[in-house]
Amino acid sequence: MKIVRHASVALLLVCASCGSTASDATPTTSSAAPSTSTSTTAESSTSSSSTPSRVAEDPRGTDGAGLGLDDPYYPELGNIGIDVSRYDLQLTVETAEVDSLVGVATIDFLPRESLESFSLDLVGLTVDSVELEGVEIPFDQTDTKLNIRPPGSLGAYIESQIVVEYSGEPKTIESGTTIGSIGWFDAPNATVTVGEPAGSRTWFPVNDHPSDKATYRIQLDVPEGLIGVANGVRTAARTLNGRSLSVWEMDDPMSSYLTTIAIGDFDLLEGDSAGEVPIRNAVAAPVSSVFDGDFNLTDEMLVTYEELFGPYPFDEYGALVVDANFSFALETQGRSLFSTSFVDGDGSIERIVAHELAHQWFGNHVSPETWRDIWLNEAFASYAEDLWLEFGKGESLDALEARLIERASLFPTPAPGDPGADDLFAPSVYRRGALTLHALRVEVGDDAFFQILRDWLTTYGGSVATTADFISLAEATSGQDLREFFDGWLGDGPLPELSNR
């Protein structure tokens, strides 16, 4: 993503976790927050097809309540004892002065071992009941966890289903990074959720870590006159008794931070299709007349990226433009999220549009196994911006290389391969990370480099991977020993010299 911060004199673009900035001059970070938000701390599908997950089995016994996934940056997130395959969310939202939510979450999962208890992430909402296979069972809540305690042990790798009924007034929470607040934003003219890195737990009970991917069905029940939008393909829509209902389905594995819902006055616009990929946009009505001026190249970008990386990984693509003053764009899966503050029709956000589209391959199709691997998202999408300019617009390789070196030189630290939780979305993750990929291209040659990217997506698509996985794959594909190369480029020392082209 990328974030735009408004300084007193100039517009400062700061590279963020998922998105892009409106300019090329400075970096960007992840999900920024609407200026109007407040923060707090603190028909049902039963498909059970398991999706790839690489979480290690829990060696610490069967009482899994409250045990996180031991992420090096966010060890408390998620639960190590379960592998969720599907979320079916039925959400009724009232948008008065303060948003209120009544939710029913049907969650299909596999215990990773015999479990006496387990937990889900949930913040700021009250659970009314939990059922396991149709039988109400005990539970308790802390500020950040829903602890579920079945009367008997759950058998290892036996498909299970719980239904959680919950309600409340969802809010934002602090991300713990430079991006500020995340979660449920109740803006004056719209509602939207921002998940990265761990904001989805503000609106549904979830194993809120990128390593546990699942499929989703999201049913939105909102006041008539508004439209609810979510990830995936809209499979049903109707208006009845003063309510607008819609169903959205994402049948490809998705990390929880890539989920979103938005509620507002949207125009649903069909874009030019890119080959067999339909482009369907949900655009806030105030900017729908100028939308095309900023997004009219999406189909060409998609075709270019398919030629470079391989087939687009999801059923459809589009933009979700929300009427709110956000300083970010976010690569929510299948439909990237933008603020109306970005959209004026002058075409100045071309790089941002390219960045968020590229994330559908890098970050969404292949997601990071831990948050320490964030450069696998942001560096790849940042370099893809330049690849669009080179292969889509005809920019020279010399110009591309000069710009990459200049930008990386401004932000050489912290180490993009291990920036730390506080600097998860530091400019170096984007800038030095992008130059690392260009340096790899120079080191191994174009043929091997683009084969590495395609092999990466083929090998790990629909799942998660680590930096070590990428290095091993790059070595196998290129036939070169690249350990020393990556140690230099992904560290925090001086920028290495590029090899001669």
Flag whether pLDDT at 239 surpasses 80: yes
Report for 46-50, 54-58, 163-167: range of highest mean pLDDT: 163-167
- The answer to whether the beta carbons of residues 332 and 259 sit under 8 Å apart is yes
Give me the pLDDT at residue 5, please.
Answer: 36
Over residues 329-358, the mean pLDDT reads 98
- On whether residue 412 sits in a domain, the answer given is yes
Flag whether pLDDT at 26 surpasses 50: no
Give me the pLDDT at residue 49, please.
Answer: 39
pTM given for the model? 0.89
Tens digit of each residue's pLDDT (9 = 90 or more) over 467-498: 999 999 999 999 999 999 999 999 999 999 99
Over residues 266-275, the mean pLDDT reads 89
CA distance 88 to 48: 11
Give me the pLDDT at residue 3, please.
Answer: 53
Flag whether pLDDT at 223 surpasses 50: yes
Cis, bond preceding 253 (omega within 30 deg of 0) = no
- Assign 21 a pLDDT band (cuts: 50, 70, 90): very low
Give me the pLDDT at residue 7, please.
Answer: 28
- On whether residue 72 sits in a domain, the answer given is no
Flag whether pLDDT at 328 surpasses 90: no
- Assign 1 a pLDDT band (cuts: 50, 70, 90): confident
Mean pLDDT of the chain: 89
Phi–psi pair at 277, nearest 5 degrees: -95, 115
- On whether residue 452 sits in a domain, the answer given is yes
Check residues 51 and 83 and name the one with the higher pLDDT.
83
Give me the pLDDT at residue 377, please.
Answer: 99
Closest CA to 254 of 278, 277, 281, 231: 231
Over residues 431-456, the mean pLDDT reads 99
Flag whether pLDDT at 51 surpasses 90: no
As given in the structure block, the two tokens for residue 53 are 């997950």
Give me the pLDDT at residue 97, please.
Answer: 82
Q: Which of 97-106, 320-329, 419-428 has the lowest mean pLDDT?
A: 320-329
Where residue 385 sits, what CATH number does that domain have? 1.10.390.10
- On whether residue 443 sits in a domain, the answer given is yes
Q: How many CA atoms lie within 13 A of 377 on its CB side?
A: 37
Flag whether pLDDT at 50 surpasses 60: no
Flag whether pLDDT at 10 surpasses 50: no
- On whether residue 163 sits in a domain, the answer given is no
* Strands of 400-466, DSSP E: 463-465
How many structural domains is the chain composed of? 1
Q: How far is CA 256 from CA 156, 208, 216, 270, 384, in A?
A: 23, 6, 10, 27, 24
Check residues 21 and 323 and name the one with the higher pLDDT.
323
Burial 376-406 (b: 16+ CB within 10 A, else e): bbbbbbbbbbbbbbbebeeeeeeebbebbee
Q: What percent of the chain has pLDDT over 70?
A: 88
- On whether residue 89 sits in a domain, the answer given is no
- On whether residue 451 sits in a domain, the answer given is yes
- On whether residue 392 sits in a domain, the answer given is yes
Domain that holds residue 453: 366-489
